[in-house]
Chain A
Amino acid sequence: MASFLLIRLIRWTAGLLLILFVTYGMMFYGAGDPIRMMFIQGEDFDSEDEVVMLALRKKYGLDEPFLVQFGNYLHNLLRGDWGRSIRLQVDRPVLEIVQFRLPISMQLGFAATVIGSVVGIGLGILAALYHNRWPDPLIISTVLFITSIPVYVVGPMLLLILVLQLGVIDVPYGWSGLFHKDAALPVAVIAIGILPIIVRQTRSAMLEVKGQPFIRTARAKGLSEFRIIMRHMLRPMMTPVITTMGLIMIGLINGALFVELIYNIPGFGLLTIEGIKKVDYPIIMSVAVVGTMIIFVSNFLVDIIYPILDPRVRVR
């Protein structure tokens, strides 16, 4: 068990390093010289600026060879120095910006996961209970329908319908905390994005558990259907649902990118888009770091939780 986790940890860490290396390499050879771009955007550009540019490059450590820069970056990263923003919020430490922006996205994502799980698991159980009767195909095709519409279409359409046509809500704009009414629509849109994954997984897991002999035994003992679901079906069913956590995280990140742009929420998704449009290296690197960390940590957590939920895995 310990060696299994260790191997997983090494694999995920190697993956994280590889992705950081590739991203840094693409930044280094690709994105273009941010210092030069800083100057081109200002109107006059003369030879004197070359000196200033050299000084600025030195200041941000952009004059070193690639491997040295990457090594320095990793070293600083581990010490909590994520560099300073070059163009977005000039000279502000990136870690500070991330610490301000990330919690907003995390709150949105967490709320969406809770709502998506409650509704999704409920619908999945319902679909499996009424397998081969009308609620099952209805739920499944509705879910398939919803999955296929991209978030950036659902968001604007809901605005048009709810605000302009029905007039049920005010225009949601910006961020005033998770429990402010403006957060309801963004959370709902992200939740809709991850709902289908949960419904499908719950349904297929439930269908598999439903046919197990121990369920028949429980029923033979005369337990009520509700107790059977709560006591005997829920736990074995949760295992496959938990394993989709990686997918759910991807859904949350995609959702954050679009939803924060649509509703103008100053979260990490919006930071990503702003940083990329302004070619702000340290910001873009922080996006790569945080994005891969989220994915890898959630995958690693799944590796840890899985054996706890399903003892059969522990033996292997």
Chain B
Amino acid sequence: MSNVVMQTRIRLARNLKKYPFPQRLNTAGKNEVAEEIIKAVKNSNSPLSKELNILYVKDLTEAQRISLVEQHLASPEFMSDSAGRALILSKDKTMSIMINEEDHIRLQILYKDFNLEQAYDTADKLDTLLDENLDFAFDEKLGYLTQCPTNLGTGMRASVMLHLPALKSSKAIGRIAGNLSKLGLTIRGAYGEGTEPEGAMYQLSNQVTLGISEKAAIENLKNIAQQLVTQELQSEKRMSENLETQDKIFRSLGILKTAKLISCKEALELLSNVRFGINASLIKDVSLETVDELITEIQPATMMVNKNEKIPPRERDILRAEILNEKLN
């Protein structure tokens, strides 16, 4: 099950009652909000208060900012502006709070397996502890009040990242996507642009936040995710018996092991094929963990942050090939 589900994420949007929403705040106002939230987190008796990193966006280099986006710890929108913005991050990176993104607080729990209930439970507890020190904007009828009415109510966005190579290649994903909106869910590519997400990685999340409880929304998402996983595994099984598919998988591994220059896009495609090969028990000497780590490690900004230097595109393609050769041989 968790071979198809690569990641579980819960995000809660919260705002402080006594301040206008971020869009209506100047930098001084945002700084004030940030300090109040940071203080509340430090004083909360939560797991996050014990081991936290506070990253002020204005102090980060562009590569550091983008790398955090590549690791799914911050949104592109958050990192594209630095005024009054800060990211609170737990040491193990499973808990984070974006301060002054679209809302004052965007609390996130990120797990590397399929565990929506536990992720929500952790988010809920952290939220309750913060509630003791912060006065949240809340209305009995409309729930948590958010800057954009699309997040009203629970303020919760639950999502799972799915690796769906078989459903992608059979074009079934388009059909599925069309039906999901009727169920209050949405699916989009986790990486890359357009209708052809790179590496066949998709993000499935709930869309409706008002009139449905957190528990029901999670249950709904979980059921649909499970159905997608079942369909994917069935198609994978069928496809993996095909010699052309097997050839593609082993060629992909061969290229990753020996290439001298490789773009991020190509690497993601090939890693996706290898991942499929591991799931179908065709490839036995590479682990899923290695592949999943590489998916983040070979991202352009993350490579630069790990090397601690600015690397031009061609040199990045060389370095990427070196990393892949080493990790997969």
A-B complex is real: no
